[in-house]
Amino acid sequence: MKAFIQGTGSVSAQDSPGFPASIREYGGTRLPVADPDYKQWIDVKQIRRMGRAIKMGVAASHVSLQAAGLAMPDAIIMGTAYGCLADTGVFLNKLVTQKEDMLTPTAFIQSTHNTVGGQIALLLGCHAYNNTFVHGAFSLENALQDSLLFLHEDPTRRVLAGAVDEITDYSHSILSRFRLYKDAHTASLLRSGTDGTMAGEGAAFFVLGTERTATSMAELNGVEMVFHPASEAEVQERIVQFLARHGLQPGDVDVLLTGRNGDVREDGWYANLEQGLFKDVPVAAFKHFCGEYPTASAFAMWMAAGALQKQQWPDTAMFTGKAPAQTKRVLIWNHQHGTHHALILLSAC
């Protein structure tokens, strides 16, 4: 089953309206989102009660709906690995400091993983199918597959799909204990050649439909997940099989968009196949724009859809080779810690 991306919206470390013409650069261990003016989409009184993840998700979803010219989706399907970490931290902190007495339920209610999808539905008045996948680094991919199945049941439907994850001081401190992050600069991150990367966060949403419309940006051809591969050879075999199912060979891909993040322990997965299976294919990267987080592939999909529509890639996105004059197909290959490998195939429409 295929679907057209009829509208997109993103809240990330980059200014969405200006990307890729203007690119923000960061130094340190994390890339925070460039918060837009949320009052455009959310009432001021409600903003005060919302966590950052909720605001990010609501803003990105509304932008995608506006871009698609859609007032009401037939389903809201999204993914998140961490959920609303800020509200979780607030609740747990009060649980300890107040010795479990006189706790307000608001932070607990807003800490659940499906809060973002629920809040989007409440603001839209949408009573349709609403599902949130919490499958770690496969959360977005499962949401996309569910969206394609939903559209297969009724091709007249249109789905709002996406993903959101945030990082807080609490979670950043905990994850840093595992040597996941390092002090770096985005301009030199990808070629740093040392352990660790830069933490990130963000939200990206897409309006998916089976019909090509005036607002269609790209076509979503397929999604594939490879869990805990035994070797690089297995990953290569699965990539070849995935492309073959769509009548393609590795050389038919115009741009390979990888999740290279500057961590020497993880980038080897990409390097070997870039030099072998995709030796003649230009390679781009995206995590020096958004940082590393479980659903970062949503930013990659947003970035690739925009590149296919505008036929323009940022110069700083290209890791090897030059961007082609015309981009017809983009293969997104992202992995986290070598255990969760995800493939998303997009094409121009």
Report which residue type is found at 287. K
pLDDT digits (tens, 9 = 90+) for 198-224: 999 999 999 999 999 999 999 999 999
* pLDDT at residue number 91: 84
Under a CB-based contact definition with an 8 Å cutoff, are residues 28 and 7 in contact? no
* pLDDT at residue number 87: 84
* pLDDT at residue number 311: 96
Task: Please give the mean pLDDT across all residues of the chain.
Answer: 95
* pLDDT at residue number 28: 97
Under a CB-based contact definition with an 8 Å cutoff, are residues 273 and 235 in contact? yes
Give the distance, in angstroms, between the CA of residue 127 and the centroid of all CA atoms in the same chain.
25
What 3-state DSSP class applies to 174?
helix
* Mean pLDDT, residues 118-137: 97
What does DSSP say about strands 283-285 and 255-258: parallel, antiparallel, or unpaired? parallel
Q: What is the DSSP letter of 123?
A: H
The tokens describing 191, both together, are: 């070629």
CA distance 70 to 6: 9
CA distance 49 to 172: 23
The tokens describing 147, both together, are: 């969206």
Under a CB-based contact definition with an 8 Å cutoff, are residues 108 and 92 in contact? no
Give the distance, in angstroms, between the CA of residue 297 and the centroid of all CA atoms in the same chain.
4
pLDDT digits (tens, 9 = 90+) for 310-322: 999 999 999 999 9
* Mean pLDDT, residues 67-95: 92
Q: What is the pTM of this model?
A: 0.96
* Domains of the chain listed by start with CATH number: 3-209 (3.40.47.10), 218-347 (3.40.47.10)
Report which residue type is found at 143. A
* Mean pLDDT, residues 283-307: 98
Under a CB-based contact definition with an 8 Å cutoff, are residues 11 and 35 in contact? yes
* pLDDT at residue number 234: 97
pLDDT digits (tens, 9 = 90+) for 185-195: 999 999 999 99
* pLDDT at residue number 248: 97
3-state helix, strand, coil in the chain (%, to 5): 35, 25, 40
pLDDT of 34 > 90? The answer is yes
* Mean pLDDT, residues 68-75: 98
> Cα 10–346–291 angle (5° rounding)?
40
Give the distance, in angstroms, between the CA of residue 264 and the centroid of all CA atoms in the same chain.
22
Under a CB-based contact definition with an 8 Å cutoff, are residues 147 and 159 in contact? yes
The verdict on whether omega for the bond into residue 20 sits within 30 degrees of 0, i.e. cis, is yes
The tokens describing 40, both together, are: 């455009």
Percent of the chain with pLDDT over 90: 86
In sequence order, the 6+-apart residues with CB closer than 8 A to the CB of 297 are: 140, 141, 163, 259, 332, 334, 342, 344
* pLDDT at residue number 11: 97
Q: How sure is the predictor about 49, in pLDDT bands with cuts at 50, 70 and 90? A: confident
